[in-house]
Amino acid sequence: MFLRRAIPLVLSLSVLGSIADNLRSDLALPGVTSLFPGDAAYANASRAFNLRFTLEPVAVVYPATPQEVAEVVKIGAVNGLRVAARSGGHSYIANGLGGENGTLVIDMGRFTNITVNPTAKTAVIETGNRLGDIALALNDYGLAMPHGTCPYVGVGGHASYGGFGFTSRMWGLTLDNILSINLVLANGTIATASKDINPDLFWALRGAGPSFAITTSIEFSVYTAPASVIIFQYNWQLDVAAAAAALETFQQFVVAPDLSPKFGAELVLTRGAVVGNLSFGLTGAWHGDPGLLNGTVAPFLAAMPPLHSVTLTPGNWIESVSALGGGNLNTSLAPDYTDTFYAKSLMTPEASPMSLAARTSFMNDVAYAGFTTNTSWFFQVELYGGANSKINAVPVDETAFVHRNSMFTIQFYASSFNNAPPYPEFGFTFLDDLVDGIIANSPKDWDYGAYTNYMEDKLVDYKQLYYASHYPRLLALKKTLDPRGVFDFPVGIDD
């Protein structure tokens, strides 16, 4: 667990109760709904996406304008409270609820306007929007933007910490396409940040946003949607040695100088059919000429063992987004889901690919511990780098997102049995031991990192792994813009 700063204080339940009484009066703003412990809708409003976390915010507030957000922030600060914004609520460690009890939560769910300028290819998107609804709105104009596959993820947090999707090698991360940001600062000031207006804040918001402001809307560059997309799924059933070799084959394949940025891919590792084996899949989307996919993947397939199965699904742009997102992009048609899980990440440097020892340790744990563990798990080796990647073409100091030399971001994700609490202790050790094994079998100076959109609560050296060389600059800005720590949570920018 993390030690908190002295300000804001961790408050006792009796003090919180007194504050809640005052807040009921303070938050009686016209048109603003506020929910408190004991209210009928509070339990649902305060529920985390990851049910491993059970938190009790002092209140959950639903403003609809930047002025209302500003007023709520001021009320929170006056009452000595931490304040957290919740966009979609999908933070892996419940940062949208503040990360611990006693936080004043501002839910951005009423901020759902999307204004598209098809001529300029820009869109102003309020931060209560979910990725699925954004994709549908942009598609009405034949446009698209890079983002992840889960339709229910809110754009506010997603764009603050990265935003990887299968178009990212072609278009960059979600945050790389931000033109300007409308926001509320910790003192309640309404402001705008862009390359020319508050440039230091603009830099910080693209990589560490929730530590500095509550974002109300973001202007993005958007793109003409691809005319066609092929979703591809190649699968092998491999033993440890073959899987370690296959990962090396993929590492060599993606650095080939002619690899198209229209190739977006990840390796997906899941439980094998028998102990000692694993399912090794290459999944992704091809956004170019349909006739060129086979030639693009041919060098990789030729170096691999015989395939177990192949599925190629052609379609248009929005069909591909829907299929990758589970079939429903309109998030108003069905409720969001929850899970009980632990997740970790590892960003591997392109300049120093994973060694044979690291790859063997990785695959050995997947094939043996992964087969016997009583958790539901998957691991995704997401392709960030390789030849012609737009992600790594951005200079490292251009944004607060620091990892511009990564080959892969690996997501390690394990859910409890039936996705319900409690989460088993061996679920933690399974993932911790696996990642520790990769690092221990890599060079001492291996320049690895971790991905902030896959936040974990047990990461002791998060300042280095999430923010690296950018942390001192971020901390200096934090002391200037939020000296009282109003926007404060366990893995944010903090003394």
* CATH number for position 48: 3.30.465.10
Q: Do both 237 and 361 map to the same domain?
A: yes
Q: Do both 215 and 279 map to the same domain?
A: no
Residue 382 has pLDDT above 90, yes or no: yes
What's the average model confidence in pLDDT over 277-288?
Answer: 98
**305 neighbors 236 (Cβ within 8 angstroms):** yes
What's the average model confidence in pLDDT over 445-460?
Answer: 96
Q: Do both 247 and 143 map to the same domain?
A: no
Residue 20 has pLDDT above 90, yes or no: no
Q: Which residues contact 398 (CB under 8 A, 6 or more apart)?
A: 203
* Res. 6 pLDDT band, cuts 50 70 90: very low
What whole-number distance in Å separates Cα of residue 74 and Cα of residue 170?
Answer: 41
Among 148-152, 211-215, 317-321, 490-494, which stretch is predicted with the lowest mean pLDDT? 490-494
Tokens 């120093």 identify what position? 352
Residue 3 has pLDDT above 60, yes or no: no
Q: Do both 272 and 188 map to the same domain?
A: no
Q: Do both 380 and 405 map to the same domain?
A: yes
Q: Do both 123 and 72 map to the same domain?
A: no
Q: Do both 311 and 447 map to the same domain?
A: yes
446 assigned to some structural domain: yes
Q: Which residues contact 18 (CB under 8 A, 6 or more apart)?
A: none
Residue 8 has pLDDT above 80, yes or no: no
* Nearest residue to 248 (alpha-carbon basis) of 348, 384, 354: 354
Q: What is the pLDDT of residue 21?
A: 76
The percent of residues in the chain predicted with pLDDT above 90, rounded, is 94
What's the average model confidence in pLDDT over 379-397?
Answer: 97
353 assigned to some structural domain: yes
Q: What is the pLDDT of residue 9?
A: 38
Q: Do both 365 and 390 map to the same domain?
A: yes
| CATH code of the domain containing 405 | 3.40.462.20
Tokens 């560059």 identify what position? 221
163 assigned to some structural domain: yes
Q: Do both 96 and 194 map to the same domain?
A: no
**Residue finishing a domain among 89, 107, 125:** 107
Q: What is the pTM of this model?
A: 0.95
* Res. 495 pLDDT band, cuts 50 70 90: confident
DSSP string of 179-207? EEEEEE-TTS-EEEEESSSSHHHHHHHHH
Residue 5 has pLDDT above 50, yes or no: no
Per-residue pLDDT reduced to its tens digit, 350-361: 999 999 999 999
492 assigned to some structural domain: no
Q: What is the pLDDT of residue 16?
A: 53
**Residue finishing a domain among 58, 87, 107:** 107
Q: Do both 392 and 412 map to the same domain?
A: yes
What whole-number distance in Å separates Cα of residue 291 and Cα of residue 312?
Answer: 12
Q: Do both 185 and 244 map to the same domain?
A: no
What's the average model confidence in pLDDT over 154-161?
Answer: 98
Q: What is the pLDDT of residue 308?
A: 97
Q: Burial, 120: exposed, middle or buried (Cβ in 10 Å; 0-12, 13-18, 19+)? A: exposed
**91 neighbors 135 (Cβ within 8 angstroms):** no
Q: How many domains does the chain have?
A: 3
Q: Do both 308 and 350 map to the same domain?
A: yes
* Res. 15 pLDDT band, cuts 50 70 90: low
Residue 234 has pLDDT above 70, yes or no: yes
Q: What is the pLDDT of residue 171?
A: 98
8 assigned to some structural domain: no
| CB crowding 294-332: b at 16 or more within 10 Å, else e | eebbeebbeebbeeeeeeeeeeebbebbbebbeeebebe
**Structural domain boundaries enclosing 436:** 229-467
What is the pLDDT of the chain when averaged over all its residues?
A: 95
**Residue finishing a domain among 69, 87, 107:** 107
489 assigned to some structural domain: no
494 assigned to some structural domain: no
Residue 1 has pLDDT above 60, yes or no: no
Q: What is the pLDDT of residue 323?
A: 97
The percent of residues in the chain predicted with pLDDT above 70, rounded, is 96
3 assigned to some structural domain: no
What's the average model confidence in pLDDT over 308-315?
Answer: 98
